[in-house]
Structure 1
C-alpha cells in the first residue's frame, strides 16, 4: 500500500509510520516541524521528509490511504487536496482498527494508569516470548518501537486514549477500536478543553463499554465508584470482571505483594501501581498466561518510561520524575512515594502545564493532591497560560485551590531552580511531576544533587 501521513512527526503518528514501513508498506509523510526523538527515529528508517512544511503535490490518486494526525488543522493544504480527490482518509486510531479488525483487540482505557497497565501486559508477553501486536504510549525496555503491526499475530494490545482522533474526526480514539477484551482503570475528569463537564467526560466511557463486541469482556477497577456505576449500567452483552488493589506491605523501601506462595518483592510501588498490576493480571489471564506465571514475569517489571522513573539515588535519599499532571495522578504518585519511604522528608514539585491544569475552573480539582508531601511546590508559567490563550491565573488562585497554607509557588524557572538546588536532600525523597520541564530544568543537573 502507498500510505501518506499528514503530521508524521507526532509521537503516535511516527511510530505507526515506522511500524507500517517495517511491515512492508510504502510510507511518505509531511510535517511543519519535527523534534527528537521522532526526527532521528524517522531518519533512521528513511522516512524523514526532505523539507518541513505542507506540500499538496505529495497528494495524488496513487495513494491508497492518508493518515491525518491531531497536529494538522482542518484547512491543511494536503488534507484539503486529499478530500478533493476523494481519497480514503483515516485518523490513526481508525487506521489501527483497519489493520487489526481480524485480530483479537485488547484495549486498555482509563483516565490514569493505562500506559502502565499496557506496559505490564507487554512485559509479561515479552517475558514468555509470546509475540503480539501493540500500540503503547511510552518507550518500553526491550521494545524498539511503540507500535507493532504484523500479518500473523492474533492479539493486538492497544492503549485506549479518550482524547479526540483527528481534526476532522472528533470522536475519542478509544471509541474506534471495538475491543474483544477491554479494561478501564478509573475515571477522573480530564481534557477539560474538550469535555467541559464531568458528566460529559464520563459519558465517553459509557460509549466505550457499549462498543465492546458482543460476547467480549470488560475488566474494571471496582474501587472507582463512577466507573463501577458505568459498567454495571451497561446493557451490552459482555462479561464483566471487577478487580481491586491486592494486599501488599512495604518493608525497608521494598514493596511485597501478597501471593498464594507468600510475599513477593516487586519493582513498582504505590497503591495505584499495585491496582494497575491487578488489572494487568486479569488481562494476561484472558490472553493465556496463568496467575503463577504472571507473578514470575511481573516481578521483573521496572515501570513504564516517565512513570515514577528513578533519576538519582544515594544511601540516604532518592529522586523520581513522573509524567503525573492530573489531580488523581498527582495525589496517587505523591502518596505512593511517601508510603514507600515514610521516614524520609518528601519534597513534591508539580508543574501545572496542561490546558486542564491551567484552567481556573479546573484548579479546584487539585484540593489535597499534595497533602502527602512534607514540602509541596507548584510551578507554572504565566507565559504558557498566555500562549495557550487561557484566562490568567494568580498565585493566590493556586494556593486557594490546593488549600495548603505552606504551599510554595513559583512562576519563574530561575526561582524554582534556585529553590530546588538550595534544598538539603539528606534523608529525603524528591518527586518532580510534570508533562513539561519546569521552563528548561536540566534533569542531568538534578542527578548531581544526590
Structure 2
C-alpha cells in the first residue's frame, strides 16, 4: 500500500504514519512545518519530508490513498491534485476505521478523561499480555508511539475525540469509529468555534451513541446529569452500564482502591471515575477484576495528566493538560483534596479559541475557587495570532468570579511572581494544553524557594 500524508506533522498524523510504515506500507508525507517530537520521530523512520511546503507533484495515481490532516486547508494544492486525479482521500479517523473494521473496537469519548481512561486500559492489557491495537492522545510510558495498527491484533482501543475529522469532513472524529464498546466520561461544553451552543455540543454525544454497533455496549458516567439524561432518552439498541466513584480511602497522601486495598499512584475523584470506566471496559474484554487491580497499581498516569515534575517532603510540582472549565475544576479539587494541609498555588494558561472567546470565558466562573493562590496566564501573542481582542485583568477576574485572582500576559513577569512565593508546605499546579510561552517547567521547579 502506498499512502501519502498531507500535514504529516500532526500529533495523531505522524504517529499513524509511523504505525503504517512499521506495518510495511510505503509512506510519504508533507507539511509546511514540523515541530518536535514529531520531527525526530519521523526522521528516525525516514519519513520526515526532505523539504517543507506543499508540492502537487507528490500526488499521482500510483497512490492507494491520501490521508488528510486538520492542519491542511481546503485549497491545499496537494489536496486539490488528489481530488482532480480521483485518489481516495481519508481523514485519519476514517483510516483508523479502515484498519480496524474487522476488529472489536473500543472507543472512549467524553469531554474529559478520554486520554486517561484509554491509557489505563492500554496499561492493563499490556500488563496482562493481551494483543491489541490502539490510538491514544498522549505519549505513554512503555509505548513507543501513540498509534499501533497490525493485522494480527483482535481488538483496537481508540481515544475518540469530538473535534472535526478533517478540513473536508466536518463530522466529529468519534462518529467514524463505529464502536462495539463505547465510553462517555462526561459532557462539558468545548470547541465553541465548531459547536457555538451547548445544545450543538451535547447533540454530538447523542449521535455518537447511535454510531455504536447494534447490540454493543455503552459505559457512561452517571454522575453527569446531562449525560445521564441523554443516555436514558436514547433509543439505540445498546447495553448501558453506568459508573461512578469506586470505593476507596485516602491515607498519608495515598489513595487505596477498595476492597483489595490496592495502593494507587493516581488520585482525585475524576481519576477514580476514569479508573472505574477502564475497569468496566476491561471486564468486557475478559480481564478479571483482581488482575485489573494488580495491573492498575503500577499505572503512573498519562503524560501531562497530574504529572509530577518535582516532589519532596514539603512540596509537589505538577503539570496538567487541564484547560477547559470542567478539567480545571476537577484537577484543582483533586490536588486540594489529596493534600488538604498544603497550600495550593494553581496557574492556568488560556490559549485555545474557546478560552480566548469573551462569551465563553464566563464558563470559568468559580473554577479556581479551591486554589489558595489562583493565577491566569495568557500570552499576549495568543490574542495576536488568533486576531482576537485581549482581556484585561478585570475581565478575567470578573469572568472567574474571583477578585483575588492574579492575571499575567507576560511570561517573564509570571515566572518572577512564581519564584517570589514560599513553597514550604505548598503544591504548585501548572495547567495548560500549550507551553507557557516556552517555559522550562522542570527548571522552574528546581528554582522554587522552600
> Is the shorter-chain TM-score for this pair beyond 0.5, marking a shared fold?
yes
- How far apart, in 2, do the equivalents of 1:380 and 1:57 lie? 41
For 2:55, the equivalent position in structure 1 comes to: 55
Partner of 2:441: 443
Shift of 1:395: 1.7
Q: Are 1:268 and 2:245 matched, yes or no?
A: no
Per the alignment, residue 321 of structure 2 pairs with 323
RMSD: 0.9
How far, CA to CA, are the matches of 1:324 and 1:205 in structure 2?
Answer: 21
Greater Cα shift, 243-252 or 417-426: 243-252
Which residue does the alignment assign to 1:163?
163
Matched-pair contact (CA < 8 Å) for 1:350–1:377:
yes
Alignment of 1:22-61 (within 5 A): 22-61=22-61
C-alpha distance in structure 2 between counterparts of 1:305 and 1:169, whole Å:
29
Structure 1 residues 231-246: aligned runs within 5 Å? 231-246=231-246
Cα separation, 2, equivalents of 1:44 and 1:79 = 26
Q: Residue 312 of structure 1 is aligned with which of 310, 313, 326? A: 310
Query: Which digits, 9 at most, give the CA deviation of each residue in 1:62-88, with x for residues without a partner?
Result: 000000000000000000000000110
1:277 counterpart (275, 278, 298): 275
Counterparts of 1:66 and 1:297 in 2: how far apart (Å)? Answer: 39
- Report how many aligned residue pairs link the two structures: 448
Query: Any stretches of 5+ residues in structure 2 without a counterpart?
Result: none
Structure 2 CA distance, aligned partners of 1:273 and 1:376? 22
Kept in 1: contact 2:393–2:406 (CA 8 A): no
> What's 2:363 paired with?
365
Match of 1:208 in 2: 208
**What displacement does 1:440 show?**
2.3
Of 374, 380, 383, which residue of structure 2 is paired with 1:385? 383
Asked if the contact 1:382–1:393 (Cα under 8 Å) also holds between the matched residues in 2, the reply is no
Query: After alignment, is 380-389 or 241-250 more displaced?
Result: 380-389
1:353 CA displacement: 1.1
Partner of 1:21: 21
State the 1:247 CA deviation: 2.1
Matches within 5 A, 1:38-187: 38-187=38-187
In structure 1, how many angstroms separate the alpha carbons of the residues matched to 2:174 and 2:387?
28
* Runs of 4 or more above 3 Å deviation: none
Counterpart for residue 418 of structure 2: 420
In the superposition, the TM-score normalised over structure 1's length comes to 0.98
Partner deviation per Cα, 1:80-121 (whole Å, 9 max, x = no partner)? 000000110000000000111111010000000000000000
| Structure 1: distance between partners of 2:46 and 2:332 | 42
CA drift of 1:246 comes to 1.0
CA offsets per residue over residues 24-73 of structure 1, 9 Å max, x none?
A: 01001000100110000000011111100101000000000000000000
Cα distance in 2 for partners of 1:156, 1:36 equals: 27
Q: Distance in 1 between matches of 2:216 and 2:356?
A: 39
SS in 2 for 1:448: helix
Using the alignment, how far apart are the partners of 1:235 and 1:401 within structure 2? 38
Point out the more displaced range, 439-448 or 359-368: 439-448
Q: Distance in 2 between matches of 1:44 and 1:438?
A: 28
Contact 1:376 1:408 in 2 (8 A): yes
Give the Å deviation of 1:249: 2.0
Aligned counterpart, 2:354 = 356
- Other-structure match for 1:221: 221
